[in-house]
Amino acid sequence: MTVSNARGDLSESIASLAALAPLETILFDIDGTLCDSDILHYHAYREMLQEIGFNGGVPITEEFFAENISGLHNEDVAAFLFPDDVPRGRQIAEDKEAVFRKLASEQLAPVSGLYKLKKWVEDRGLKRAAVTNAPRANAELIISILGLSDFFEALVVGSECEHAKPHPEPYLKALDLLKASKEHTIIFEDSVSGIKAGVAAGVATIGVMTRNPEHQLREEKPIFLIKNYDDPKLWAALEALEKMDA
C-alpha cells in the first residue's frame, strides 16, 4: 500500500467511526476476536480428522480451516465436512469442543491490546455484549479465563437463536437485549461469517486480522480492518469519535 493510499484508508476509518457518535454500545465476537483461539480449534480438528482418515488421512491445512470452518456454527461445519453423514459430523464437532476446552484451559491468551480497549469501554460506560457461534460452554470458559465475566452484560449464542451467524439474528438479538441502537454501535469480528452477520445487521463492523486472510475479510465490507487492539488506526478513529461525542 502506498503512503497516499494508507492515509486515505486511515481518513476513511476515522470518518466511519466518527459518524457513530454518540457511541452507545460495543459488541464482540469471542473466538479469534477476544483471544487467538482459532489456532486451538484448528489443531483439535486437524488431529481428530486425521485420526478418522478424513481427506485420505492427509492433515487439513490452516488455510483449509480458515476458508471452510473458522467462524461457522458447528451444524454448518458438520454439513460441510460430512455432507453424506451429518450426524457423524455433529459428533465429531462435539468431541472437538472437549479437546478445544482442554487446550484453551492451558494455552488461551487475549488478543494484544484487549485490556486497553476494555478499560476504554468501561471508562465511558458503554453497553457491551459477546455474540458467538461457539457452544455456550466454550464461550463461558473463554470469558472466564480472560477475566471478562463481569465485563459483559449479555452473552448471545448462535445455537440459541433461530439462525446463527452469518445470519444477522445473533447481533440483532444482542442489540435488543441491551436496548441499543444499531446506528450507535460497533462490532468487532475476526471471521468472514461474523463480519457478514454484522454488516447484514446494519452495524458498523471492524475486522480483526487475528488469523483469517485479509482479502477474505475485506470482501465482506467491514468499515476497516485492524491487526489487533493496539493498532494505531483503531485509536485514531476512537479519538475522532470522542471528539464528535464531546
pLDDT tens digits along 64-108: 998 899 988 999 999 999 999 999 999 999 999 999 999 999 999
- C-beta separation of 215 from 197 below 8 A: no
Contact 175, 182 (CB under 8 A): yes
Percent of the chain predicted with pLDDT > 90: 86
- Express each pLDDT in 151-162 by its tens digit: 999 999 999 999
Q: Is the pLDDT of residue 246 over 90?
A: no
What's the chain look like in SS3? CCHHHHHHHHHHHHHHHHCCCCCCEEEECCECCCECCHHHHHHHHHHHHHHCCHHHHCCCCHHHHHHHCCCCCHHHHHHHHCCCCHHHHHHHHHHHHHHHHHHHHHHCCECCCHHHHHHHHHHCCCEEEEEECCCHHHHHHHHHHCCCCCCCCEEEEHHHCCCCCCCCHHHHHHHHHHCCCHHHEEEEECCHHHHHHHHHCCCEEEEECCCCCHHHHHHCCCCEEECCCCCHHHHHHHHHHHHHHC
Highest-scoring range by mean pLDDT, 9-13, 69-73, 121-125: 121-125
pLDDT at 12: 81
| pLDDT at 202 > cutoff 70 | yes
Question: What is the pLDDT at residue 7?
Answer: 46
User: Which is it for the CA torsion 19, 197, 130, 188, positive or negative?
Assistant: negative
Query: What's the gap between Cα 136 and its chain centre?
Result: 15
User: Above pLDDT 70, what percent of the chain?
Assistant: 96
Cell digits for 122? 468501561
Residue 5: pLDDT over 70: no
Please identify every residue annotated as catalytic. Answer: 29, 31
| Residue 1, pLDDT above cutoff 70 | no
pLDDT of 4 > 70? The answer is: no
CA atoms within 13 Å, Cβ hemisphere of 232: 5
Cell of 176: 435488543
**Closest to 189 (Cα-Cα) out of 173, 174, 210, 161:** 210
Q: What angle do CA 205, 206, 210 make, to 5 degrees?
A: 135
> What whole-number distance in Å separates Cα of residue 133 and Cα of residue 33?
12
Question: Domain 3-36+109-245 carries which CATH code?
Answer: 3.40.50.1000
